[in-house]
Structure 1
Amino acid sequence: MRSYGNRLEKADIPFAQKERFTHSLLTILNEKWNDISAPECAHDIQDLYRSYVNDPDPFREVKLESNDIALAMYGDLSRKVDESDDPFITALKLAIAGNIIDFAVNDSCDLDGTIDRVLRSELAVDHSLQLKQALERANRVLYIGDNAGEIVFDKLFIGQIAHPGLVYSVRGGPAINDATMEDADYTGMTSVARVISSGHASPTTDLSRSGEEFQRYFREADLIISKGQGNLEGLIGIPDRRIFFLLMAKCNVISEYLGIETGSFVVINPSLQSKKQ
Structure 2
Amino acid sequence: MKISYECGPCFLRQAREALDLSTDDEALKMEVIGEIFKFLSDNFKEGTNSNSTGSAMHKLIIQKTGCRDPYRKEKIKGNEIALKYLPEVKRIIDEDDCLENYVKIAIIGNILDFGAFTLDDDVESVIKSSLKKDLTVKDIEEFENSLKTHDRVLYLVDNTGEIVFDKLLLAKIKEYGLNITIAVKSEPILNDACMVEALDAGLDEFGEIVEIGCGTVGYVDSEISEEFRKIFNDHKFIISKGMGNYEGLTEIDLSDKDIYFLLCAKCNTISRDIGVDLHDMLLFKK
TM-score normalised by L of structure 1: 0.89
Report if aligned partners of 1:21, 1:49 keep a CA contact under 8 Å in 2.
yes
Residues 123, 74 of structure 1: CA spacing in aligned structure 2 closer, same or farther, 3 A cutoff?
closer
Alignment correspondent of 1:27: 38
1:251 paired with 2:267, answer yes
Distance in 1, matches of 2:269 and 2:155, equals 24
Report if aligned partners of 1:88, 1:161 keep a CA contact under 8 Å in 2.
no
Unaligned runs of 5+ in 2: 1-10
Amino acid corresponding to residue 60 of structure 2 in structure 1: L
Distance in 2, matches of 1:88 and 1:47, equals 38
Alignment correspondent of 1:87: 98
Amino acid corresponding to residue 94 of structure 2 in structure 1: D
Alignment correspondent of 1:217: 231
Distance in 1, matches of 2:160 and 2:211, equals 14
What does 1:52-67 align with in structure 2 at a 5 Å threshold? Answer: 52-67=64-79
Displacement after TM superposition at 1:110 (Å): 4.6
Distance in 2, matches of 1:31 and 1:92, equals 40
1:152-174 residue CA offsets vs partner (Å, 9 max, x unmatched): 11111111221431111111111
Distance in 2, matches of 1:100 and 1:44, equals 23
Amino acid corresponding to residue 239 of structure 1 in structure 2: L
TM-score normalised by L of structure 2: 0.86
Residues 88, 108 of structure 1: CA spacing in aligned structure 2 closer, same or farther, 3 A cutoff?
farther
Amino acid corresponding to residue 79 of structure 2 in structure 1: N
Residues 257, 176 of structure 1: CA spacing in aligned structure 2 closer, same or farther, 3 A cutoff?
same
1:34-92 residue CA offsets vs partner (Å, 9 max, x unmatched): 253222222111121113321111111211221222133333322321221x4311110
1:133 paired with 2:148, answer no
Report if aligned partners of 1:93, 1:118 keep a CA contact under 8 Å in 2.
no
Displacement after TM superposition at 1:12 (Å): 4.2
Amino acid corresponding to residue 145 of structure 2 in structure 1: Q
Distance in 2, matches of 1:128 and 1:245, equals 12
Alignment correspondent of 1:46: 58
Match of 2:162 among 141, 145, 150: 150
1:126-182 residue CA offsets vs partner (Å, 9 max, x unmatched): 212111110111112001011111111111111122143111111111111111001
Q: Which deviates more from structure 2 when the two are superposed, residues 108-117 or residues 124-133? A: 108-117
Amino acid corresponding to residue 165 of structure 1 in structure 2: N
Alignment correspondent of 1:274: none
**Could you say what the CA RMSD is over the residues aligned between the two structures, in angstroms?**
2.0
Distance in 2, matches of 1:157 and 1:17, equals 43
Unaligned runs of 5+ in 1: 271-277
Amino acid corresponding to residue 254 of structure 2 in structure 1: P
Alignment correspondent of 2:192: 178
